[in-house]
Amino acid sequence: MKLYNTMSKRKEEFVPIEEGKVRMYVCGPTVYNFIHIGNARPMIIFDTVRRYFEYKGYEVNFVSNFTDVDDKIIKKANEEQVTAEEISTRYIAECKKDMEAMNVRPATTHPLATQEIPGMIAMIETLIEKGYAYEKNGTVYFRTRKFEPYGKLSHKNLDDLRSGERSLLVTGEDEKEDPLDFVLWKPKKEGEPFWTSPWSDGRPGWHIECSEMSKKYLGEQIDIHAGGEDLIFPHHENEIAQSEAANGKEFAHYWLHNGFLNIDNRKMSKSLGNFRTVREITEQYDPQVFRFFMLSAHYRSPLNFSAELMDAAKNGFERIVTAVENLKYLLGNAKEDAMTAKEQEKFAKTEAFVKEFEGAMEDDFNTADAVSAIFNLVKYANTNTDETSSKEFLEQLKGLIVKLADVLGLIVEKKEEMLDEEVESLIAERQAARKSKNFQRADEIRNELLEKGIILEDTREGVKWKRA
């Protein structure tokens, strides 16, 4: 498996730190509003990367944070006259709803910056002790020039750089030893949330947050660090400097970055009036179509969002869904159970499509070519099945399409809607089965209903059910 490493600017063979395991950190959103479709791209891309590793049998420890203290959060809180915590809690919940809609799996851990402050303070203390950081009037700065490899990720020359800090009004900006030094801790301003530290009541800089959270949940060295290409400098560059200076070890072995998302060939911005949230888009389009669209180009390429391209994505996605529906229809009417010798030969040929799919994914997660492999499999299934096909052959083909699509996080098999009376009838059958101590059948019914999105609850008042 080859990954394009931003650090080396070339594709490298993936060799994990620990055999069979992947430690992966992805920078999450700052939660002050509904997430926009630019936020969605790394979420979908790196969820797909994780899914492929799991498909290949790796155990993935996947950590993605929420930045829940930030100038934008504070500004929003002041506008609404609520606490910063209320804003971040609200929009973390909304972000999780959007992630679920896009079929993005929850991370192994979703740490919150505000809950990891003691660890950040400890890391800053280590950096001061080692001479990589200094304090001036309550602000702590990182000595950028002391970390000699600074610029190795972004391939920038130190002398050509300006300070990599976000556009923050930092107390004591003129007190830096060097304009390139960046902030690790800053004193509070009036009306801001704050934490007590050895230097001042204040809050951490943005960059130290990810260094500490990655270390806590994945260890001092990780396999993959990922995010949007806008984070390469200064955020990821500063993370490397902090982590490697504090821990004395190489921070991440591979750096993966997705390309920008434009809207109608223009950069997305509020000033241009083309800012789109995931919530708006998924009210307009099926979230699965949106996910399909995101995977239709290589993750490192810029991607343009437009109505025309979304319509094309809708047509492409429906090709796969329709094929699965057709196979289900044939299955429901199939006369023969077992595969014939000829069908076995035909199914053996599907291995070529699996190899095509895996070859694409193992070449730096080329999802566009992986989708093409699924299309080829769909075409093969359409042309090699009819009303004479056996159940086994149809089931195997359907299962293979669904399985490969699932690696991309695409749900291509529609759940059948159950009518209320059908549910009630099955519940009655389950109750009768339990009464006659046929617990196997009772469990089968429970699982059958669960697969169709019906959750049963056994209460004192009897069995209650709800839709998932």
DSSP string, 151-220: TTTTT--GGG------S---TTGGG-SSTT-EEEEEE--TT---EE-SS-EEEE-HHHHHHHHHHHHH-S
Read off the pLDDT of residues 410-432 as tens digits, 9 standing for 90 and up.
999 987 666 678 888 888 899 89
2-258 homologous superfamily: HUPs (3.40.50.620)
Annotation: CATH topology of 307-407: Four Helix Bundle (Hemerythrin (Met), subunit A) (1.20.120)
333 close to 391: Cβ distance less than 8 angstroms:
no
Backbone angles phi, psi at 431, to 5 degrees: -60, -40
The pTM of the full predicted model, rounded to 2 decimals, is 0.88
Q: Tell me which residues of the chain have a pLDDT lower than 70.
A: 162-174, 416-419, 461, 468
Distance CA 208, CA 126 (A): 12
Q: Which residue has the tokens 């096909």?
A: 389
Read off the pLDDT of residues 64-96 as tens digits, 9 standing for 90 and up.
999 999 999 999 999 999 999 999 999 999 999
Q: Which burial class, exposed, middle or buried, applies to 328 when counting CB atoms under 10 A from its CB (0-12, 13-18, 19+)? A: middle
Residue extents of the structural domains in the chain? 2-258, 307-407, 420-467
Check residue 113 and give its pLDDT. Answer: 96
On the question of a common fold for 2-258 and 307-407, the answer reads: no
